[in-house]
Amino acid sequence: MMLDQIVFYFFATLAVISAVLVVTRRNIVQSAIFLITALLATAGIFLQLHAEFLFIVQVILYAGGIMVLFVFVIMLINLDLSLHQVQFNRQWWLGLLLSLVLGAQLTVAIAVGRSGLPMGEPAPATMLEPSTQLVGKVLFTEYMLPFEVASILLLVAMIGAVVMAKKKV
């Protein structure tokens, strides 16, 4: 139990700290690196929950796929510009206020409604079916329609991007 907690707090702290650094770093490439760390730390928490499939999908899709493209694009644009820009505008206090209010709300909501939250006893991990098979079965039976709709949406977005970027030949 002890080790579980240590591992969890390690990943959680890592995720939070790197998430903060993503916003505060001036250099976009460094921000991107901390975003990767944040994503990987979240993946680590998934792994600790025995959601192996979610873990590896997080690593492959977010860290391996999307972030590579991000970094790729960042390197092609002009970096010096962002270094000299003002990082905060005049509304920063409003943002701070809003986020504080939201944080307070969440804290109160969790503190008050904790007893009502459906947190049953977790099933022992060894009793569960392997998560890959579970995800596959649910995705292709119960959630077939939303899954296909989402696929078509992505396809449309992709075709749209290609059409917009295409040069007239």
Long-range contacts from 128-131, C-beta under 8 angstroms, 24+ separation: 128/50, 130/52, 131/50, 131/51, 131/52, 131/53, 131/54
Would you call 89 helix, strand, or coil by DSSP?
coil
Q: Does 95 bind other proteins (CB under 8 A)?
A: no
Q: Which of 64, 95, 103, 160 binds other proteins (CB under 8 A)?
A: 64
Per-residue binding letters, 30-49, with other proteins (x by CB under 8 A): x--x--x-------------
> Least separation, in Å, of the C-beta of 42 and other proteins?
14
Q: Which of 16, 20, 23, 60 binds other proteins (CB under 8 A)?
A: 60
Q: Does 18 bind other proteins (CB under 8 A)?
A: no
CB atoms within 10 A of CB 91: 10
For residues 113 and 126, give the distance between their C-alpha atoms in angstroms, rounded to a whole number: 31
Instruction: State which of positions 120-139 bind other proteins (CB under 8 A).
Output: 130-132
Q: Which of 48, 49, 71, 82 binds other proteins (CB under 8 A)?
A: 71
Instruction: State which of positions 137-166 bind other proteins (CB under 8 A).
Output: none
> Least separation, in Å, of the C-beta of 137 and other proteins?
13
With beta carbons less than 8 A apart as the criterion, state whether 55 and 137 touch. Answer: no
Distances in Å between the Cα of 138 and the Cα atoms of 72, 81, 135, 153 are: 35, 47, 5, 20
With beta carbons less than 8 A apart as the criterion, state whether 62 and 39 touch. Answer: yes
Q: Give the interface with other proteins as residue ranges (CB under 8 A).
A: 2-3, 27, 29-30, 33, 36, 52-53, 55-57, 59-60, 63-65, 67-69, 71-72, 75-76, 130-132, 169
